[in-house]
Amino acid sequence: MASTVGSVEQAAAFELKGRMATLTVLRLLTPDNDTLNRQLEAKVAEAPSMLRGLPVVLELSAVAGASADQLALWLETVRGQGLVPVGISGAGEDVATAARERGIGVFPELFGGERQSPKPGSSRRSAEPEVLPGRVIDQPVRSGQQVYARGGDLVVLASVSPGAEVLADGNIHVYGTLRGRALAGVQGNREARIFCRSLRAELVSIAGQYQLSEHLGGDGAEGPVQVYLEDEALCIVPLEA
């Protein structure tokens, strides 16, 4: 009988594929764990079906001097509220080492230098991201699909279904009903906007600032609207004819 060992050994056991996937960043603004736990509990209660089981990255640059013991406490708190911490960012080497020992990934700086002024004599143009052609989708974006426009705008000439996700480094234009999730300015472009004929989204986000479906009602949601970022708040206003 012929041996099958050789064929088994040659069969591929896995594949590595590059794919754009979004992760929610939980940026800690205080080392006070009691405050974190209380406010996180209230946030999860607003949208439990969306937030429970959600993978998150803990961004720690605003809590300078965090210790490994504090990280352990924060991880326990986040898990206790039903979220799933998969990584950290913005931490010192000791905390990063502690994270790796706990099986938590360490991401590059997510907010490093995001609001720094250009140095005297430096070219503003050289600091600007490369602008690539936009992406146009001429059919509905179905549930479970993810469409990303890297470096430019995304134009969807149809509707976006519940459970779908559209992302762009620039603006997002939806010429139908926007359901699902829409994330514009995903690389930090705070000037990005979302435009749609009807807003029924599960989540909209500009440069990391987001609102869930529970807060998307009100004037303008029935007809064409635009979503933009003003200071640290998302504004949703009707598009004038």
Domain coordinates in residue numbering, the chain: 24-106, 135-238
pTM: 0.60
Among candidate residues 45, 15, 39, the one with its CA nearest the CA of residue 27: 39
Using a pLDDT cut of 70, give the percent of the chain over it: 79
Residues 81-129 pLDDT 10s: 999 999 999 888 999 999 999 999 998 776 544 433 334 444 444 344 4
Residues 186-211 pLDDT 10s: 888 999 999 999 999 988 999 888 88
Spatial separation of the C-alpha atoms in residues 9 and 16, rounded to whole Å: 18
End-to-end CA gap in the chain: 77
Domains 24-106 and 135-238 are alike in CATH topology:
no
What does residue 72 show for φ and ψ, rounded to 5 degrees? Answer: -60, -40
H helix intervals, the chain: 5-10, 33-46, 48-51, 68-80, 93-101, 124-127
Q: Tally the C-alpha atoms within 13 A of residue 211's C-alpha that lie toward its C-beta.
A: 17
Which CATH superfamily is 24-106 part of?
ACT domain (3.30.70.260)
Q: What is the CATH number of domain 135-238?
A: 2.160.20.70
3-state secondary structure of 38: helix
